[in-house]
Structure 1
Amino acid sequence: MELLNETKLKQLLDRQEIVALVNDYCNAADRHDQEKMRSLYHPDALDDHGSFFSGLAMEFIDMLPQIQAPMAILHHNVTTVNIKLDGDRAEGEIYILAFHQINTDEGPMDLLIGGRYFDKYSKREGLWKFSHRAVVADWANLHPRSIVNLDNPIIKGSLIGKPGTADPSYEFFSLLKRGERSWGDVIE
């Protein structure tokens, strides 16, 4: 019975670390934090972002500043998480809602995507990271003219999120730091 409980506890901790990895990815993307993003993938990991990129994840991360430059707002939200563990490897189907406000020559436009990440993870040297991630779009809602209104009186005085280090979270938090994972201290 004790061995069964130890196995379940290990699986629970592994699953939680993978969920934290997925959430860290969203945070890194939204804050344009390439250092943190790089820490989430194994060096030989693959990433498939459709027409943006398909290949080695580190090469994709090198391209992120250019890809994200016109994006005034990125807001990724994880919904349904399905993870299957098998020792030091795992797979996940992660449902996502991702809002993008993109600056164009005609002014800002909004894109809301509902989709999934098809993920493969592996645990190396005691740490779970992505070994392969593929983005799947299930639907998209496009507004050629942005409907975002951050000047609305209802949010007057509120902190306003921004990409990069201008985001107010970097002044507010002392434990959640730029470039660092939220989970993953190796305890063995």
Structure 2
Amino acid sequence: MPIANCHTTADRLADITAIEQALFRYARGVDRRDWTLVRSAYHPDAIDNHGNYRGPIEGFVSSLVARHAHIEQSLHVVSNVLVEFNAPDSALVESYFTAYQRLSPSAGASRQTYLDGEIASDSDSVDNEAIGRYVDHFTRREGEWRIQRRDVLFDLYRSRIAQRSAPINPALTLSVRDQSDFLYARRQELGL
């Protein structure tokens, strides 16, 4: 609920948009391995409780760098963003997420920890799907809304050996998990 007499409706809508943009920066940053962009969604002293990591944001980013070295595909979808302001510069934000990630054979034996009874061969990738919610405390400092604390709640986590499929048509533009992705070329072209 909005705080009475603190901001106009237009101000609060601008705040909600800024909060959503931080959520989307996080998703793009993880999927493109753009760790500077991930950091931009958090305050420098933020805490992240991601299940497999709990602690300061710099340690979380380090854990992402190590984990994503073996993730060949990653796609985060963020939706159902609900913002509840508890003060002019503070909000509880709940958002739903779905994350699809393909763990490459280069991850070695660690791929087995995701599988329930299946045995991955040396050439198998493992597909992971996570569905859950981010429960974030956002605060605004110096005009910027960023995550102060994130707790990740999981509703579903499933893994399976990736199915082999036909090669992708070479006429299609493929996503790349770094700054050589088409998006970054277009950003540069547009002066962003």
- Per the normalisation by structure 2, the TM-score is 0.81
Give the aligned residue type for 1:101.
R
Tell me the alpha carbon deviations over residues 36-68 of structure 1, each in whole angstroms, 9 at most, x when there is no partner.
1112211111001112x1001122113321111
Structure 1: segments with no counterpart, 5+ residues: 178-188
Give the aligned residue type for 1:13.
A
Structure 1's consecutive aligned runs of 4 or more residues displaced over 6 angstroms after TM superposition are: none
Would you say the 8 A contact 1:122–1:131 is kept in 2? yes
Alignment match, 1:137: 154
Tell me the alpha carbon deviations over residues 108-167 of structure 1, each in whole angstroms, 9 at most, x when there is no partner.
1101111111111000000001000111110123222x13647244xx411111111232
Give the aligned residue type for 1:63.
S
**CA 1:62–1:140: 2 relative to 1, 3 Å:** closer
Task: Give the Å deviation of 1:99.
Answer: 0.2
Alignment match, 1:45: 46
Would you say the 8 A contact 2:22–2:40 is kept in 1? no
Confirm whether residue 89 of structure 1 aligns to residue 90 of structure 2.
Answer: yes
Would you say the 8 A contact 1:89–1:123 is kept in 2? yes
Q: Of residues 175, 178, 181 in structure 2, which corresponds to 1:161? A: 175
SS of the residue 1:32 aligns to: coil
**CA 1:40–1:111: 2 relative to 1, 3 Å:** same
Confirm whether residue 62 of structure 1 aligns to residue 76 of structure 2.
Answer: no
Measure, in 2, the Cα distance between the counterparts of 1:160 and 1:166.
11
Give the aligned residue type for 2:154.
A
Measure, in 2, the Cα distance between the counterparts of 1:130 and 1:162.
27
Aligned pairs for 1:72-87 (under 5 A) are 72-86=72-86, 87=88
Alignment match, 1:101: 102
Measure, in 2, the Cα distance between the counterparts of 1:28 and 1:72.
15
Confirm whether residue 173 of structure 1 aligns to residue 190 of structure 2.
Answer: no
**CA 1:126–1:150: 2 relative to 1, 3 Å:** farther
Q: Of residues 146, 151, 155 in structure 1, which corresponds to 2:167? A: 151
Would you say the 8 A contact 1:94–1:116 is kept in 2? yes
Provide the alpha-carbon RMSD of the alignment. Answer: 2.1
Would you say the 8 A contact 1:41–1:57 is kept in 2? yes
SS of the residue 2:51 aligns to: coil
Confirm whether residue 122 of structure 1 aligns to residue 136 of structure 2.
Answer: no
Measure, in 1, the Cα distance between the counterparts of 2:145 and 2:99.
24
> How many residue pairs are counted as aligned between the two chains?
171
